[in-house]
């Protein structure tokens, strides 16, 4: 059954109209109140917190791995064959440059040296006699020249004998720590046979590599921070002193070498090292707190305060580190910038500088 639709009584119709119009009235009221609040807020200066832009630049660090090596390293080897007669070092102990380490049997060399000296003495006498006879017209020029040649040969033989004799005494080529010997007294060693290693470990060399994309930011003198698993909780500082001019084609990496001081001898050659290489930004700029930077429409801005007005300034960013950001263009050192409250600012807005507690700086009590 269809229910007939009866029209509302005339007295009820205004009520219905008022009920339907109520949301529009509330909306209008809210709009008026909102505009009134905005107008009230626009009448006063906006409170902001500020900071001073500092001159400087930030760099980032790249983390890589490397290997510690001796500053100088050599395996002591004899140049002549001989029997070991004396070992003049203690294993694992420091030695000075020029210290005798090993002596070989030199009896044969001593005999050769004595023979060479005797032959030189005879050659000197023969040469003097030949010169005298030639000057007295009693000898020929040929005899004089042959005597002089024999003298030169005798001198060369003596120098050779002295050199061979010197090789029976092996000395340290530089100061360092002596390693573990591989021979004993009485052993007969051959030329080139390993006797003991010598390592210079203060400072140590640090070899590591970084991606070739970092080439523009590499230079001698960059600082490195070194940690090793063998010494947890300790870190060591070093400095890059050499960059390999040849890039590794397979790994697309650049080899670098740094020096790491090791006065206490805590580090040893061969240790695996974790390396932090500091990379400078390569451009001078200013450093500001990171919260000072505002992003709008994909661009970066900072509000600069001057004469009570905050002005929106476009900036170019550099590196970020520890809550700070590098500004490479747009802001000069010493300028005052907004670090809190900039969300309520427009391109140019009158501002009042307040502290973190909201109290205006000019009304803050002294002390």
Q: What percent of the chain has pLDDT over 70?
A: 82
Spatial neighbors of 87 by CB under 8 A, at least 6 apart, are 101, 102, 181, 183, 184, 185
Rounded Cα distance between 61 and 318, Å, is: 14
Average pLDDT estimate for 76-103: 96
Tokens matching residue 137: 């017209």
pLDDT given at position 44: 59
**What is the CATH number for 226?**
2.40.30.170
CB-CB contact of 344 with 46 (8 Å):
yes
DSSP-assigned letters across all residues of 35-51 = HHHHHHHHHSPEEEEEE
pLDDT given at position 62: 86
At residue 239, the 3 state secondary structure works out as strand
**What is the CATH number for 144?**
1.10.287
- What domain range is 353 assigned to? 47-58+283-361
For residues 175 and 157, state if they share a domain. no
Calculate the alpha carbon distances from 322 to 4, 60, 282, 331 in Å.
77, 10, 19, 20
**What is the CATH number for 323?**
2.40.420.20
For residues 89 and 182, state if they share a domain. yes
Quickly state the pLDDT bin for 363 (edges 50, 70, 90): low
Rounded Cα distance between 297 and 313, Å, is: 14
* Residue 75 in domain: no
pLDDT given at position 362: 63
* Residue 265 in domain: yes
Q: CA torsion sign, 38 to 41 to 44 to 46? A: negative
* Residue 76 in domain: no
For residues 184 and 212, state if they share a domain. no
pLDDT given at position 49: 81
Residue that finishes a domain, picked among 152, 177, 194:
194
Residue 8 per-residue DSSP state: P
Q: CA torsion sign, 242 to 245 to 249 to 252? A: positive
For residues 99 and 176, state if they share a domain. yes
Spatial neighbors of 27 by CB under 8 A, at least 6 apart, are none
For residues 213 and 293, state if they share a domain. no
* Residue 14 in domain: no
CB-CB contact of 100 with 169 (8 Å):
yes
Q: Is 159 left (phi over 0), alpha (psi -120 to 50) or beta?
A: alpha
> What is the CB-side half-sphere exposure of residue 305 using CA atoms within 13 A?
24
* Residue 33 in domain: no
For residues 127 and 223, state if they share a domain. no
For residues 269 and 330, state if they share a domain. no
Note the pLDDT tens digit of each residue in 302-357: 888 888 888 888 888 777 767 778 787 888 888 888 888 777 787 788 887 877 76
For the question of whether the overall pTM of this predicted structure is more than 0.85, the answer is no
For residues 88 and 183, state if they share a domain. yes
Structural domain count of the chain: 4
CB-CB contact of 242 with 256 (8 Å):
yes
Calculate the alpha carbon distances from 130 to 111, 119, 148 in Å.
29, 16, 8
Note the pLDDT tens digit of each residue in 216-242: 889 999 999 999 999 999 999 999 999
Q: Is the pLDDT at 263 greater than 70, yes or no?
A: yes
For residues 304 and 351, state if they share a domain. yes
Rounded Cα distance between 55 and 285, Å, is: 6
For residues 94 and 152, state if they share a domain. no
pLDDT given at position 309: 83
């Amino acid at each position: 059954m269809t229910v007939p639709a009866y029209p509302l009584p005339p007295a009820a119709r205004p009520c219905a109209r008022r009920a339907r119009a109520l949301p529009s009235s509330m909306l209008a009221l809210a709009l008026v109140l909102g505009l009134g609040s905005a107008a009230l807020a626009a009448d006063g200066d906006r409170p902001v917190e500020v900071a001073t832009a500092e001159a400087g630049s930030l760099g980032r660090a790249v983390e890589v791995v490397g290997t510690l090596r001796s500053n100088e390293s050599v395996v002591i080897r004899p140049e002549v064959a001989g029997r070991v007669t004396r070992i003049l070092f203690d294993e694992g102990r420091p030695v000075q440059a020029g210290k005798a380490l090993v002596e070989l049997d030199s009896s044969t060399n001593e005999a050769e040296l004595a023979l060479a000296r005797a032959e030189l003495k005879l050659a000197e006498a023969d040469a003097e006699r030949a010169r005298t006879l030639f000057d007295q017209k009693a000898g020929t020029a040929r005899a004089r020249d042959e005597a002089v040649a024999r003298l030169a040969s005798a001198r060369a033989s003596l120098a050779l004998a002295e050199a061979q004799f010197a090789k029976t005494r092996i000395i340290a080529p530089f100061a360092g720590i002596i390693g573990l010997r591989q021979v004993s007294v009485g052993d007969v060693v051959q030329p080139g046979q390993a006797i003991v290693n010598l390592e210079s470990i203060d400072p140590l060399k640090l070899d590591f590599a970084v991606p070739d994309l970092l080439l523009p930011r590499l230079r001698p003198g960059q600082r490195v921070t070194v940690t090793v698993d063998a010494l947890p909780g300790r870190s060591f500082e070093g400095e890059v002193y050499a960059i390999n001019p040849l890039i590794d084609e397979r790994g697309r990496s650049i080899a670098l070498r740094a020096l790491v001081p090791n006065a206490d001898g805590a580090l040893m050659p061969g240790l695996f090292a974790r390396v932090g290489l500091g990379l400078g930004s390569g451009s001078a700029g200013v450093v500001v707190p990171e919260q000072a930077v505002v992003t709008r429409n994909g661009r970066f801005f900072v509000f600069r305060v001057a004469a009570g007005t905050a002005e929106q300034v476009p900036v170019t960013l550099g590196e970020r580190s520890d809550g700070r950001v590098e500004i490479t263009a747009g802001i000069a050192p010493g300028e005052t910038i907004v670090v809190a409250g900039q969300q309520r600012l427009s391109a140019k807005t009158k501002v009042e500088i307040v502290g973190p507690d909201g109290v205006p700086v000019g009304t803050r009590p002294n002390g």
